[in-house]
Amino acid sequence: MEDNKTDKIMLFQGVKTLIFAALSLLMGPVLLSFAFSKPDDKLYIPLLIIGCLICAFAIFLIFKGIRLIMNSMFKKK
């Protein structure tokens, strides 16, 4: 008979990934708002680039975390 239990280690990894994604979702727009508040500052371009990269990384982490959670529930490895 098939055992349909959730892989708890993989589930924990997925939840941890989603927590890092939530932190990135908060940090990225904050950096972008700092950059847009002072466009004449010399740190405008670096803050803009870093903020955009963090936002893109957060989206990647969301998809990765959801994929890990789904794989832990449905035993796809």
- DSSP 8-state assignment for residue 41: S
pLDDT at 2: 59
Tell me which amino acid residue 25 is: L
Global model pTM greater than 0.75: yes
CB 55 within 8 A of CB 31: no
Q: How confident is the model at residue 1 (pLDDT cuts 50, 70, 90)?
A: very low
pLDDT tens per residue across span 27-53: 999 999 999 998 898 989 999 999 999
CA torsion sign for 57, 63, 67, 68 is positive
Average pLDDT in the chain = 91
Q: How confident is the model at residue 74 (pLDDT cuts 50, 70, 90)?
A: confident
The kind and range of the H/E element at 47 are helix 44-74
